[in-house]
């Protein structure tokens, strides 16, 4: 049984005060929703206030990135132990914006996933192809390279979640069609089966990300291999994210 996850990736939006307001409002709006894990991932500076505002609600808080060492002379970096102490329960790793603008590679994704899992937090590891890769027929080859290079060693960990985010769909309003999402998710699940076996493949949750909105979530969640969403723009406003959460509830997959 795979419980859906709806995770909001707030990117570099919201101060601590703004995060408090949004989390409080979201908490009220999703209070009655069952059967879905609701996660918000604010910037590092807003994590303590988001955790405080989420207390007593069904919202969990996650970070958008981390460093893999526990501590040390790594100016500007944040360790998973530091995040755990704040009350974070999830960490996003390998988002395409980190790969594109901050030099993240499959090798660094591998180390970060390992660090998050070692600390006992849930890791949402991201992958996905660019438009040029899709148009030149390389989608599956790219996904396979990313899984084998960044995820393969960790697949049997029950706290690992995969987020398939086609780069061309992120922040563009161009959502993958439900069929395109299903095709990629089925490919990824097949690959997990090959690498880690059928038990892991049927248990691992694979989220879709890229222009998820209240009006397209139901069709995406209706796909057999889509187990939730990683939502950017539409998660910034509590009302819109609450609608997406409601759209994902009760769609548990076996
Ligand atoms: P988007 O972002 O929903 O704004 O397309 C998704 C993401 O980057 O995780």
User: What is the full per-residue pLDDT of the chain (254 aa) written as tens digits?
Assistant: 899 999 999 999 999 999 999 999 999 999 999 999 999 999 999 999 999 999 999 999 999 999 999 999 999 999 999 999 999 999 999 999 999 999 999 999 999 999 999 999 999 999 999 999 999 999 999 999 999 999 999 999 999 999 999 999 998 888 899 999 999 999 999 999 999 999 999 999 999 999 999 999 999 999 999 999 999 999 999 999 999 999 988 676 76
Atom of ligand 1 nearest to the CA of 163: 9
Give the atom of ligand 1 at the shortest distance from the alpha carbon of 169: 5
The catalytic residue positions are 95, 165
Q: Among 131, 164, 170, 174, say which to mutate for ligand 1: greatest number of ligand atoms within 8 Å of CB.
A: 170
Give ligand 1 pocket residues (Cβ under 6 A).
9, 165, 170-171, 209-212, 230-234
CA of 9, closest atom in ligand 1: 9
Q: How far is the CA of 254 from the centre of ligand 1 (A)?
A: 26
Q: In whole angstroms, give the CA distance from residue 115 to residue 67.
A: 8
């Amino acid at each position: 049984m795979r419980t859906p996850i709806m995770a909001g990736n707030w990117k570099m939006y919201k101060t601590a005060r703004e995060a408090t307001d949004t989390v409080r409002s979201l908490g009220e709006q999703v209070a009655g929703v069952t059967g879905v894990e609701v996660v918000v991932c604010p910037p590092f500076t807003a994590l303590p206030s988001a955790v405080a505002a989420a207390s007593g609600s069904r919202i969990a808080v996650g970070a958008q990135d981390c460093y893999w060492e526990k501590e040390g002379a790594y100016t500007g970096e944040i360790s998973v132990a530091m995040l755990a102490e704040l009350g974070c329960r999830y960490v996003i790793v390998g988002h395409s914006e980190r790969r594109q603008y901050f030099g993240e590679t499959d090798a660094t994704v591998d180390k970060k996933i390992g660090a998050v899992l070692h600390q006992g937090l849930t890791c949402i590891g991201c992958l996905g192809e660019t438009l040029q890769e899709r148009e030149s027929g390389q989608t599956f080859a790219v996904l396979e390279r990313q899984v084998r290079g960044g995820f393969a060693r960790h697949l049997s960990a029950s706290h690992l979640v995969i987020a398939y985010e086609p780069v061309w769909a992120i922040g563009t309003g161009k959502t993958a069609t439900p069929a395109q999402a299903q095709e990629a998710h089925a490919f990824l699940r097949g690959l997990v089966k090959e690498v880690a076996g059928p038990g892991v493949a049927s248990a691992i949750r694979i989220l879709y990300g890229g222009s998820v909105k209240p009006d397209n979530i139901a069709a995406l969640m209706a796909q057999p291999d889509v187990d939730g969403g990683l939502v950017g723009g539409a998660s910034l406003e509590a009302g819109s994210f609450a609608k997406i959460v409601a759209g994902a509830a009760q769609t548990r997959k076996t």
